[in-house]
């Protein structure tokens, strides 16, 4: 009898302990609680599944490695324990993890990145580890308590990161919340949304309706231009490995007018003229470009000048488009005299005009307006360069002694081919292109290049194509020059974000090309991004 009573007592105690442990550690999965933690003023939200399982591949991925693991960027972190602690926490993210960007959380004007991840029953363990980690000699010496909000303790790193950003975090019911912001207590605003004290985002319902391909990585965003209605962005990352990147992005509704390139420009003539020479090609219908310039918040005088020129009566407004091409190597430009002559890229713009016979007068009028506003001293050389019967008019800059001494081939220039106006940053590069075009003739067979297929597609309404080798080097050079211009006595080194992008461009150079093209879909616009060769179906 005693044995039976002891057995029953043991069973009851076991059930009790199991119930207690289950009560403490079992938390039913609730994806809505993740989105509840994101305030309604978030401009961008992305969702990522099972980061714990994917983390070993992501940490060495060529797209993320420059930001996470290079010598340049790792040297910018405040403490190696920071990355180690973050990696430990990522191992708990076996469900969904959300990232969000808040431009001005609560009107503070301090841009904030936040993350919220489902860690389920591990949340009390993390909470206890953080609590005991306050004491000296613990495994979490870099963490300090920031106080409490409601019944939850807020935590943060002892020291800021290299760029002055502060990392703060807290635990909810089955979720881990974190913020990266100049505000050390930014996590308080997230907890307010999590507790229902301020409105939360409604992204979950919209992501469930998104027509993008099924993907473990999806994104949602919302923006509003200066003179445009608010539009919503949804996107899916369908490929993200060392062999390439593919993404589909939908803008609802399209913030710009959608016009097919095939109806705006003579695609065959553009492909014939440019061939495989450019390192970068961009083509946009004129209405799309005008809407984009009107919606920008930047009050640059040069953007205003470009906007005014594109709306001028001497530019053909119907069925027109702008093509930009960047040339390097043989068809690139230069500066100086041999043997010290420097090679620089040459940029050309192609657009159709209404009255080709009056183009010199129109260009002269535009130069007068620029001179009156910016005192540039721009004048047209009355004696053009000639390539066969083709005249190339150069523009001299007299306001600067160095620029005024430029050889004719190094000056900006323009020419006309039919009703196409071609403007080039370098007259010598333009002369080479015209000479090549004259030799080709109409009967020369066209060799298809990487950007031709996307431009020739009937539904394409915009295109950007970059040769990752030649064009990538040019982008790296531009980033380096910009980074040097940002250096001050307080920040003598180049920003590590620029170093990371330069490293990324080095790593993805073997992927050959990057193509971004846009297609209309009713009132929406669909943007496709392909970097590297297409994946095998």
How far from chain centre, in Å, is Cα 182?
A: 22
Which pair of structure tokens corresponds to residue 528? 């496709």
Element containing residue 414 per DSSP (H, E): strand 413-417
Residue with the larger pLDDT of the pair 78 and 496: 496
Q: How confident is the model at residue 4 (pLDDT cuts 50, 70, 90)?
A: low
Cβ–Cβ under 8 Å, residues 321 and 265: yes
**What whole-number distance in Å separates Cα of residue 399 and Cα of residue 377?**
5
Q: How confident is the model at residue 90 (pLDDT cuts 50, 70, 90)?
A: confident
Q: What rounded mean pLDDT belongs to the chain?
A: 81
Nearest to 37 by CA among 157, 175, 148: 175
Give bridge partners of residue 517 from the DSSP assignment: 463, 528
Which pair of structure tokens corresponds to residue 122? 């591990």
What is the share, in percent, of the chain residues with pLDDT greater than 70? 81
Residue 77: exposed, middle, or buried by beta-carbon count in 10 A (0-12, 13-18, 19+)?
Answer: middle
How many helices (H) and strands (E) the chain has is answered by 18, 23
Q: How confident is the model at residue 465 (pLDDT cuts 50, 70, 90)?
A: very high
Residue with the larger pLDDT of the pair 535 and 260: 260
Nearest to 425 by CA among 235, 267, 280, 243: 280
- What is this structure's pTM? 0.82
Whether the ω angle into residue 26 lies within 30 degrees of 0, i.e. cis, is no
Cβ–Cβ under 8 Å, residues 98 and 51: no
Cβ–Cβ under 8 Å, residues 497 and 483: no
DSSP assignments along 124-152, one per residue: HHHHHHHHHTTSTTSS-TTEEEEEEETTE
Instruction: Determine how β-strand 217-223 pairs with β-strand 231-241.
Output: antiparallel
Residue with the larger pLDDT of the pair 161 and 532: 532
Element containing residue 287 per DSSP (H, E): helix 286-295
Give residues with Cβ within 8 angstroms of 458, minimum separation 6.
260, 262
Q: Report the pLDDT averaged over residues 36-64.
A: 87
Residue with the larger pLDDT of the pair 533 and 325: 325
Roughly how many angstroms between the first and final C-alpha of the chain, as a whole number?
70
Cβ–Cβ under 8 Å, residues 108 and 183: yes
User: Averaging pLDDT over each range in 47-56, 303-312, 346-355, which range is the top one?
Assistant: 346-355
pLDDT in tens, 172-227: 888 999 999 988 888 999 999 999 899 988 887 777 666 655 788 999 988 766 66
Residue 74, pLDDT > 50, answer: no
pLDDT in tens, 235-253: 899 898 888 999 999 998 8
- The least confident of 3-12, 166-175, 337-346, 386-395 is 3-12
The HSE-up count of residue 61 (CA atoms within 13 Å, CB side) is 15
Residue 484, pLDDT > 70, answer: yes
Residue 97's CB: how many other CB atoms inside 10 A?
23
- The least confident of 3-12, 147-156, 284-293, 323-332 is 3-12
Nearest to 424 by CA among 398, 388, 387, 458: 387
**What whole-number distance in Å separates Cα of residue 78 and Cα of residue 159?**
7
Q: Report the pLDDT averaged over residues 319-331.
A: 92
Looking at residue 76, its pLDDT comes to: 44
**What whole-number distance in Å separates Cα of residue 230 and Cα of residue 223?**
6
Convert 338-359 to b/e letters by CB count within 10 Å (16 or more is b).
eeeeeebbbbbbbbbbbeeeeb
Which pair of structure tokens corresponds to residue 358? 């009056």
DSSP secondary structure letter of residue 408: G
pLDDT in tens, 372-425: 888 888 899 999 999 988 999 999 988 877 777 788 898 999 999 989 999 999
Q: Report the pLDDT averaged over residues 18-28.
A: 57
Looking at residue 78, its pLDDT comes to: 45
Residue with the larger pLDDT of the pair 447 and 418: 418
Q: Report the pLDDT averaged over residues 70-96.
A: 59
Q: Is the dihedral of CA 330, 336, 341, 345 positive or negative?
A: negative
Looking at residue 514, its pLDDT comes to: 92
Q: How confident is the model at residue 537 (pLDDT cuts 50, 70, 90)?
A: low
Convert 232-265 to b/e letters by CB count within 10 Å (16 or more is b).
bbbbbbbbbebebbbbbbbbbbbbbbbbbbbebb
């Amino acid at each position: 009898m005693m044995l039976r009573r002891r057995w029953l007592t043991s069973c009851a105690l076991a059930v009790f302990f199991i119930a207690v442990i289950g009560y403490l550690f079992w938390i039913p999965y609730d994806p809505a609680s993740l989105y509840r933690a994101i305030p309604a003023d978030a401009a961008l939200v992305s969702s990522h599944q099972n980061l714990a399982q994917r983390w070993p591949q992501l940490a060495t991925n060529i797209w993320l490695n420059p930001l996470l693991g290079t010598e340049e960027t790792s040297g910018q972190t405040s403490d190696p324990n920071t990355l180690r602690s973050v990696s430990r926490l990522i191992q708990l993210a076996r469900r969904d993890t959300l990232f969000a960007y808040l431009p001005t959380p609560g009107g503070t004007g301090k841009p904030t990145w936040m993350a919220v991840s489902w860690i389920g029953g591990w949340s009390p363990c993390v909470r206890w580890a953080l609590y005991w980690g306050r004491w000296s000699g613990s495994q979490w010496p870099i963490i300090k308590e920031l106080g409490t909000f409601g019944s939850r303790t807020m935590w943060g790193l002892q020291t800021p990161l290299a760029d002055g950003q502060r990392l703060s975090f807290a635990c909810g019911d089955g979720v881990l919340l974190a913020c990266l912001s100049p505000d050390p207590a930014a996590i308080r605003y997230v907890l307010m949304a999590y507790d229902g004290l301020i409105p939360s985002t409604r992204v979950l319902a919209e992501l469930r309706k998104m027509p993008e391909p099924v993907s473990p990585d999806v994104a949602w965003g919302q923006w509003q231009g200066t003179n445009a209605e608010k539009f919503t962005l949804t996107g899916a990352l369908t490929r993200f490995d060392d062999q390439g990147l593919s993404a589909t992005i939908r803008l609802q509704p399209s913030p710009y007018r959608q016009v097919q390139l095939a109806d705006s420009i003579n695609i065959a003539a553009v492909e014939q003229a440019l061939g495989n020479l450019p390192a970068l090609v961009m083509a946009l219908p004129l209405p799309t470009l005008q809407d984009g310039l009107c919606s920008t918040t930047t009050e640059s005088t040069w953007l205003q000048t470009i906007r005014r020129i594109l709306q001028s009566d001497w530019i053909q407004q119907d069925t027109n488009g702008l093509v930009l091409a960047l040339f390097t190597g043989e068809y690139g430009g230069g500066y100086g005299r041999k043997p010290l002559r420097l090679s620089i890229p040459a940029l050309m713009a192609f657009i159709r005009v209404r009255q080709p016979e009056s183009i010199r007068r129109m260009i002269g009028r535009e130069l007068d307006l620029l001179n009156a506003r910016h005192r540039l001293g721009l004048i047209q050389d009355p004696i053009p360069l000639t390539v066969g019967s083709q005249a190339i008019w150069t523009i001299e800059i007299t306001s600067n002694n160095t620029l005024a001494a430029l050889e004719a081939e190094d000056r900006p220039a323009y020419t006309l081919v039919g009703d196409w106006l071609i403007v080039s940053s370098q007259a010598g590069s333009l002369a080479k292109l015209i000479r090549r075009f004259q030799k080709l003739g109409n009967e020369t067979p066209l060799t298809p290049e990487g950007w031709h297929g996307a431009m020739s597609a009937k539904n394409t309404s915009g295109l950007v194509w970059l040769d990752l080798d030649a064009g990538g080097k040019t982008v790296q050079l531009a980033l380096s020059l910009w980074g040097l211009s940002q250096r001050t006595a307080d920040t003598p080194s180049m920003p590590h974000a620029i170093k990371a992008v330069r490293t990324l461009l080095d790593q993805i150079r073997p992927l050959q090309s990057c193509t971004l093209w846009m297609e209309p879909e009713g009132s929406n616009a669909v943007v496709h991004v392909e970097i590297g060769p297409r994946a095998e179906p």
